[in-house]
Structure 1
Amino acid sequence: MKFRPVATIVVCACVALLIIGITTYMSQDTENEHATGEASISVVDNTEKIIENVFPKDKVVDVKITIDEDDFQSMMDNASAEEVKTASVDYNGIHYDNIGVRTKGNLSLRSVVSMDDSDRYSLKLSFDEYLSSQTLYGISKINLNNNYSDASYMREYLTYELAEQMGLPTPGYSFVNVYVNDKLWGFYLAVQQVDEQYLESNFGNSYGALYKAEMMGTGSDLVWIDDKISSYSGLAMKSESSNGDILIDMINELNNGTNIEKYLDVEEALKYITLQVVTNNTDSYIGSNKQNYYLYEDDGIFKVLPWDYNMAFGGLGKSSLLIDEPTQGALAERPLVAKLLEVDEYKEKYHEMIQNATEGYLSSATFKERVTQVSDMISSYVKADPSAFYTYEEYETGVKQLIQTNDSQVSNMNQQLDGTIASSGDGSGSGFDMGGFDKAGGGMGGRGMGGGQMPTANGTDGDYAVAAITPPDGKEAGGVAPTGEAGQGGGFNRGQGGGFPGGGQGRSPGFPGGGGFGGNQANSAPQGTMKDVIITLVALVVLGLSCVFVLLYKRKRI
């Protein structure tokens, strides 16, 4: 067997390229796994990396979005459509191309849309929008929440922290500075979507049926309607697979049976109810909108998962709740509360959970210390926030009001627990939200990204109406806005009747790609990652090497 000299050179070159390609590939897979955010096979490893690199609690991380200027402007101009745009993202130094980004929200989205000069929308980052295998340590989506109606910036953060202490399955969360095309856009709270990674880390599986309670539709109050899954449109399915029979069985048993533990994790449900009550969060199951929770079916048993807490600590204006009748509307219309508290054993556990919270995390000294720690960590970022809804002075006031509101609520609950004041009424519930959004640091008062005050809004929720207020003159927001000048933003006070400012329900996000979750795919063609390029290069080298052998190989005749 003989080779021409040139063939020998070509073969050696191809082999060298092959070795280089394989070495580079392996190097990326091992040494640079941390920098690429690639998910590990181990859920424990992913969870540790997420805590350290994605949702650290001791610092603020940068989230830098790079997006075509026209696409970004279109997204801002048509925010209600929640159109997905393609972007690159550097998340705490971990770079990704081909990320889906869109506006998100319900009340907050529609409210910012109705502002004249604020584009401070909450955003959703979808790592797997175009490449189904692309995740951030297993996380498919992260929400960047705009801290709407929270002058303190920390109601949601603190509520999730309390949820963790109570042992509830809690999504990852942390404060972030959001940049758009190298300009500081705003100081936000990042919250992990309830996705496969969340389910795997909390339950050890992600194959169960997942439902999200939404304001639009029927059945999110879990009141029995009939045995047709279509009758419960307020429980939006968020997984590809479903088990409608078990959901119907659970709702039937909750309303009409005596063995709810067969279908429901009662202790976790009690913890969920406790969390809403001790933080006075009526933008939840106990409120008039009956929303902002998930149901996850884990091997036939449903878990109640917490979600969305920017309106906690009286954010909707309610000063206190009856702990044994905390619902807005008749107690019987919320069977998850009514039926569980009918059982003495469950009611006793529930009261113990409330007491543990009021004597622990929410106790006056402990809560004040924690709020002060968080304020020390974030205050400089709040001051530099170019798109803030509030001035820095209003932030400082909001922090003080948050502490005061908690002290008042804790005192009231403790008196109900010891029997000094009533803990229940005539079955009609705790009434509807009272007072204005400005309670406890609420309200949209403060500065938006530009001039103009919030117009009076009429809606259809039947919970409360939103009206405009003008913030005090002569106050300037900290920082410089990426576009335009900071001016007066709108404010919210509660009016009579009505509901939220206009606009329909946004699309429900899915989970494109991967184990059991479905979602919407955008039309844009995906681009390859560096790993894809390396794999292609190696394949081409091997193909070239094969061609060399075919063309230049000479066989001796026998």
Structure 2
Amino acid sequence: MKKTPVILVFSLLLVLFCFGLFVYPKVGLESTNRGYEYMDTVFDQSKVTSVDIKLDDKDLTTMLANASDEEIVEANVTINGTTVNHVGLRTKGNLSLRSVVQMDDSERYSFKIDFDYYDSTQSLDGLKKLNLNNNYSDASQMREFMSYKMMDGLGIATPGYSYMYVTINGEEWGLYLGVEAIEETFLARSFDKGSDSLYKPDGTGSDLKYISNDYNDYTGIGAKTDISRQDEDEFMDFINAINAENSDLETVLDVDEMLRYFTANTALVNLDSYQGNLKHNYYLYEEDGIFSVLPWDYNMAFGGFGAGMGGGGGKDGFPGREDAAAGNVGNAVAPTINDAQTERQNNMAPANANSGAAQSDARQPMGMMVGNALSDSTINLSIYEPVSGTTMEERPLINALLSNEGNVALYEKYVSEIATSFLAKENFTQMVDEVYTLIHPYVEKDPTAFYTVDEFEEDVHGDNGIIEFASKRSDSILAQLSGELVVENTNSNTSAPSTDGAANKNSNDNAVDGAQSHNRGEMPEGMQHPNGEGMPEGMQHPNGEGMRGGQGGPGFGENGTIGTQSTGYSKTMIITSAVSVVLLVLLTFATSRFKRRRE
């Protein structure tokens, strides 16, 4: 009879141990995700979400007539049958907004829906703000979607995104890409605290070069949250660290996360970004003194901006136009909007997206000309000095990261994994074809599309389309890693094959200070050049660990991620481990006492 209490205690401890090990983590994860149902209900990537906007006709007319003002009007929005009343609606954008304003017969603006503008407690399944992007300057309508898919698969905190078909007051407005706004809800979903400092740099200081120790001198840093004196000090610590030699970057930034971000940006040749001369289209988020970079605005990725360009591209990206007065060392300065529009009109016959009838020239969107993405200077953008229209020294964040040999090794590993999996032709084609099948019916019926259906087809499956870009970019990356291709980062950003089968390790053309000799001419350890087949579908990190991210994607590992070399531990994991250890100790103690009693 004395054995019964001991057996009961033993059994109870065993049950508690199993609960702590297997059940509690899942409970924690469920509670963590609670409140963000919109990731499933709004950003369901298996379908095209319906978005029906209703507002007063007079407000609609005023908003469209004064689109540049981006004034907010009141509207009611129904998404997939769920209606939210009294929301804020406005036009949004930069180049895309200005360009559509100049078109005579298009009102295909990008829009921003602010669910909590009039009522701070209001949301749609937890979503506070939704952007509807018009896929400007992207005939494939996939550049931004596939870019976020890559970022997401790399474990980078990525906004929710999916395709949406928009109607306004019963009139079809067309196929858009819905993207979660980067604000408090996104931060809370993506980070441990999610309540620290957020910045969207654009202007003075957005290159992150040292100006002074006065935070107020960085007028273009674009704080999106209230900034305290401590926040200012932490920002200056960040600026000083990346602008100094041999700094301990780990004390001010998430090195691994930033390497993954710049790996993806470089593979995508996304130059309408920090890596181009406009130095914008990114966010910085600081939590407990550690900065992360967040992806944003990818409609000109996959070479859509053009290597060396300063603005929207024309034929061959307007190469060779120098700006000596400004000290630019890239291929070109920004063409004017009229330059870009004229070039596009001269190279692409206007046509109606549905009927094929001629349109007004002013309807044609300015920007990248379909086919420019496959120019040699774009496909062969250097992976070791991945900037255009500027220099590495003018971009201290990426320069500091790639001035460390250990960082370069990890960066090479990531970029090789992207080249042999996500961008590998068979895998990329499969992913693109799935998206193509999903959106093709909506592209065909889109009454406001910037491009014809034929242009859409060409930019997806044609000789100058994104599939061909991915294949050639993959080949270029692997050739640069192996030393078969040496890219000279000159004004024309030209490239030349290596004469000795390996990169010139002593050359200043492609060297990164502090890491000139690291594995140039060799593939990173554990990586092999694909023999026509590439790696099996999906990226697999050696340790299989997952990372912070958004929705995941089939182009990567089983969980849509590749892991990090060193990752932090979530609070749930720490608590679970601690509870399990305590229970295991108690279980061991009870077992030993039971044995002693029997003896």
Would you say 1:154 and 2:142 are equivalent positions?
A: yes
Map 1:461-480 to 2 at 5 A: none
Q: Percent identity of the aligned residues?
A: 43
Is this contact kept in 1: 2:487–2:493, CA < 8 A?
Answer: no
Would you say 1:252 and 2:240 are equivalent positions?
A: yes
Match of 2:45 among 38, 53, 57: 57
Would you say 1:316 and 2:308 are equivalent positions?
A: no
How many residues align structurally? 388
1:341 aligned partner, one-letter code = L
**Paired residue secondary structure (1:294):** strand
Cα distance in 1 for partners of 2:489, 2:120 equals 52
Map 1:363-402 to 2 at 5 A: 363-400=424-461, 401-402=465-466
Q: Provide the TM-score with structure 1 as the length reference.
A: 0.68
Once the two structures are TM-superposed, the CA of residue 327 in structure 1 deviates from its matched residue by: 0.9
Q: Which residue of 1 aligns with 2:270?
A: 281
The C-alpha deviation readout for 1:263-316, integer Å capped at 9, x for no partner, is 111111111111111011001110110001111111110111111100000111
Cα distance in 1 for partners of 2:162, 2:48 equals 7
Q: Which residue of 1 aligns with 2:293?
A: 304
Cα distance in 2 for partners of 1:346, 1:204 equals 25
Cα distance in 2 for partners of 1:124, 1:403 equals 30
Cα distance in 1 for partners of 2:385, 2:129 equals 36
Q: Which residue of 2 aligns with 1:406?
A: 470
2:187 aligned partner, one-letter code = L
**Paired residue secondary structure (1:235):** coil
Q: Which residue of 2 aligns with 1:269?
A: 258
Q: Which residue of 2 aligns with 1:531?
A: none
**Paired residue secondary structure (1:200):** helix
Is this contact kept in 2: 1:331–1:429, CA < 8 A?
Answer: no
The C-alpha deviation readout for 1:186-214, integer Å capped at 9, x for no partner, is 11000000122211111122220100022
Map 1:68-147 to 2 at 5 A: 68-147=56-135
Cα distance in 1 for partners of 2:225, 2:170 equals 36
Is this contact kept in 2: 1:326–1:430, CA < 8 A?
Answer: no
2:214 aligned partner, one-letter code = K
Once the two structures are TM-superposed, the CA of residue 42 in structure 1 deviates from its matched residue by: 4.5
Once the two structures are TM-superposed, the CA of residue 430 in structure 1 deviates from its matched residue by: 4.4
Map 1:184-223 to 2 at 5 A: 184-214=172-202, 217-223=203-209
Would you say 1:293 and 2:282 are equivalent positions?
A: yes
Cα distance in 2 for partners of 1:386, 1:204 equals 43
Cα distance in 2 for partners of 1:92, 1:240 equals 35
Once the two structures are TM-superposed, the CA of residue 234 in structure 1 deviates from its matched residue by: 1.9
Map 1:507-546 to 2 at 5 A: none
Cα distance in 2 for partners of 1:92, 1:241 equals 37
**Paired residue secondary structure (1:399):** helix
The C-alpha deviation readout for 1:365-395, integer Å capped at 9, x for no partner, is 1001111110001000010111000111111
Structure 2 stretches of 5 or more lacking a match?
Answer: 1-29, 308-377, 495-599
Would you say 1:344 and 2:333 are equivalent positions?
A: no
User: Per the alignment, do residues 255 and 424 of structure 1 end up closer, same or farther by CA in structure 2, a change over 3 Å counting?
Assistant: farther
Is this contact kept in 2: 1:139–1:196, CA < 8 A?
Answer: no
User: Per the alignment, do residues 430 and 239 of structure 1 end up closer, same or farther by CA in structure 2, a change over 3 Å counting?
Assistant: farther
Would you say 1:173 and 2:161 are equivalent positions?
A: yes
The C-alpha deviation readout for 1:436-494, integer Å capped at 9, x for no partner, is xxxxxxxxxxxxxxxxxxxxxxxxxxxxxxxxxxxxxxxxxxxxxxxxxxxxxxxxxxx
Would you say 1:238 and 2:299 are equivalent positions?
A: no
2:483 aligned partner, one-letter code = G
**Paired residue secondary structure (1:327):** coil
**Paired residue secondary structure (1:178):** strand
2:486 aligned partner, one-letter code = A
**Paired residue secondary structure (1:136):** coil
Q: Alpha carbon RMSD of aligned pairs, Å?
A: 1.6
The C-alpha deviation readout for 1:28-68, integer Å capped at 9, x for no partner, is xxxxxxxxxxxxx9441233x22321101110010110001
2:259 aligned partner, one-letter code = L
Q: Provide the TM-score with structure 2 as the length reference.
A: 0.63
Would you say 1:327 and 2:327 are equivalent positions?
A: no
Is this contact kept in 1: 2:242–2:396, CA < 8 A?
Answer: yes
Structure 1 stretches of 5 or more lacking a match?
Answer: 1-40, 432-558
Is this contact kept in 2: 1:80–1:110, CA < 8 A?
Answer: yes
**Paired residue secondary structure (1:237):** coil
Q: Which residue of 2 aligns with 1:228?
A: 214
The C-alpha deviation readout for 1:164-194, integer Å capped at 9, x for no partner, is 1111000000000001012211110000001
Is this contact kept in 1: 2:47–2:163, CA < 8 A?
Answer: yes
**Paired residue secondary structure (1:219):** coil
2:421 aligned partner, one-letter code = G
